[in-house]
Amino acid sequence: MQFSAFGQKFTRMSGILQLMDDLGKALNSDRPVNMLGGGNPARIDEADKLYHEILQELIDNNTAVESVGNYSTPQGDTRFINTLVDFFNREYDWGITPENIALTNGSQNAFFYLFNLFGGRFEQNGIHTDKTILLPLVPEYVGYADAHIEGQHFTTVPPHIDIVEHEGESGFFKYRVDFDALENLPELKAGSIGAICCSRPTNPSGNVLTDEEMARLDKLAQTHGIPLIIDNAYGMPFPNIIYSNTTLTWHENIILCFSLSKVGLPGVRTGIIVAAPEVVNAISALNAIVNLAPTRFGAAIATPLLQDGRLKTLSDNTVRPFYQQQAKLAISLIKKELADYPVRIHKPEGAIFLWLWFEGLPVSTQELYEQLKAEGTLVIPGEHFFIGIDTDTHPHTRECIRISIAQNETILSNGIAAIGKAVRRLYDNIN
């Protein structure tokens, strides 16, 4: 059986396929697996209790049946969109209307749409051009890498790496945007950039771009007449897994993307886009062709929780403190396992991961991943996250791994112990 070029591209092995395949197999494995590789959020008792309560309410008032028994419009569930408008205007005074919001079947769906709307082949007045998505800071989310219909259309800039302290302790580093390189990119001056995109907090590193950095990216986008896309899957106001003081800004040149996944609802596949009406109309048209309409079940769950404030309270008082404590636990375990070895941890500023840098690692982290997987511990090798960077000429890209901190203390402890054992063995063998 022969597949088209489209079929061949989207069926080959990719970083996101490896991640999700590992996750599914680990959940169904007959043997214990230290699952530190997936992006699934933690099962938090308070969150589970809240969702049990709201699901019972939806059953009792027949909303559950109604939400799965009818399509929404291609734009998404009207009641949820109206609730989001009221919520964002109340929280941030953006002055948006329902014409500024579209729903998708998860953030991955949203970025597939957006990257193909603003990156790839363009035609104007009979002239063909190719435009790319500018990622101002890598490493960046692995799920972006293969989202384009044809090829990869990304322009990226290697980061500055600062050695920093965290809570008075050494052994940490932080990525910063290289604005000197970014603002002088030939592609920007040539008009071959279609959009700028960043995640905040960043998956995989947990880096949080400062308000100053965001304002500078916003100005750069406006100067060149392109949108700034912000992936807010881990950020404000839900799930709000962000530990630094930040401001959430929106205007019609910004495309904000939210998700219900990391607040504990990954299975409902609900993404939210706040954008100019032109973008919302385009997303709605794509929804109609690809999905007919977005799923309504996540909207049914989230609507009453947004209306009465329970979703924001859960994010602020339960979800964020949980992951902040998990980060502290994981850091203490890593420092214990690798106290005398060259490991640095990216300063944990948000999200549900830690990003580890093993300077001078004797093998690539892809090989380290394979060794750990064979021994029952799953991580994600760093090479996949450096989208658009030649990993052969940048050793740092082959020295990093992402670990999830969403698992319970036993799995976290056992998994980090396994990482420590494997890494110590690799360094010891070169001495």
Q: Could you write out the DSSP letters of every residue in 339-387?
A: TTS-EEEE---BSSEEEEEETT-SS-HHHHHHHHHHTTEE-EEGGGGST
Same domain for 152 and 256, yes or no, is: yes
Judge if pTM exceeds 0.85: yes
Domain-located, residue 224 = yes
Are 37 and 84 found together in one domain? no
Q: Which domain holds residue 352?
A: 5-46+313-428
Shared domain check, 291 and 228: yes
The pLDDT, as a whole number, for residue 68 is 81
Q: What are phi and psi for residue 230, nearest 5 degrees?
A: -120, 120
Residues 291 and 416 in one domain: no
Residue 52 lies in a domain: no
pLDDT of residue 4: 78
Same domain, 338 and 407: yes
Q: What pLDDT was estimated at residue 18? A: 64
Q: Which of 312, 345, 366 is the last residue of a domain?
A: 312
Q: Residue 10 falls within a domain, yes or no?
A: yes
Q: Are residues 289 and 367 in the same domain?
A: no
Are 177 and 216 members of one domain?
yes
Q: Given this model, what pLDDT does residue 33 score?
A: 87
Instruction: Write the pLDDT tens digit of every residue in 321-379.
Output: 999 999 999 999 999 999 999 999 999 999 999 999 999 999 999 999 999 999 999 99
Do 104 and 192 belong to one domain?
A: yes
In a domain, 21, yes or no: yes
213 Cβ contact partners less than 8 Å away, ≥ 6 residues apart: 176, 177, 179
- State the total domains in the chain: 2
Closest to 374 in 3D by CA, of 421, 430, 327, 317: 421
**Cα dihedral: 28, 32, 36, 38 (round 10):** 0
DSSP 130: E
Structure tokens at 389: 């960077």
330 Cβ contact partners less than 8 Å away, ≥ 6 residues apart: 354, 403, 405, 412, 416
- Answer whether 389's CB lies under 8 Å from 175's CB: no
Asked, for residue 64, whether it belongs to a domain, the answer is no
- Rounded CA-CA distance 24/44 in Å is 20
Of 255, 277, 312, which residue constitutes the final position of a domain?
312
Q: Examine the fold and report which residue of 259, 282, 312 is the final residue of a domain before the chain moves on.
A: 312
Assigned domain for 285 exists: yes
pLDDT, position 250: 98
The enclosing H or E element of 87 equals helix 78-92
How far apart are the C-alpha atoms of 240 and 314, rounded to whole Å?
10
Are 150 and 9 spatial neighbours (Cβ–Cβ below 8 Å)? yes
| Same-domain pairing of 275 and 213 | yes
The answer to the question of residue 294 being in a domain is yes
- Do 280 and 367 sit in the same domain of this protein? no
Answer yes or no: do 244 and 96 share one domain: yes
Q: What's the pLDDT at 30?
A: 62
- Domain identity same for 265 and 385: no
Q: What does DSSP assign to residue 254?
A: E
In a domain, 347, yes or no: yes
State the Cα–Cα distance between residues 362 and 423, nearest whole angstrom.
9
pLDDT at 26: 59
Helices then strands, counting H and E runs in the chain, come out as 15, 16
Closest CA to 256 of 43, 398, 114: 114
Residue pLDDT tens, the chain, 431 long: 888 778 786 777 666 666 566 766 655 666 778 999 888 999 999 999 999 999 999 999 888 888 888 899 999 999 999 999 999 999 999 999 999 999 999 999 999 999 999 999 888 777 888 999 999 999 999 999 888 888 778 999 999 999 999 999 999 999 999 999 999 999 999 999 999 999 999 999 999 999 999 999 999 999 999 999 999 999 999 999 999 999 999 999 999 999 999 999 999 999 999 999 999 999 999 999 999 999 999 999 999 999 999 999 999 999 999 999 999 999 999 999 999 999 999 999 999 999 999 999 999 999 999 999 999 999 999 999 999 998 888 999 999 999 999 999 999 999 999 999 999 999 998 76
The confidence score (pLDDT) of residue 328 equals 97
Domain CATH number, residue 274: 3.40.640.10
Residue 156 bridge partners (DSSP): 135
Rounded to whole angstroms, the Cα distance separating 421 from 115 reads 40
Q: What is the pLDDT of residue 46?
A: 97
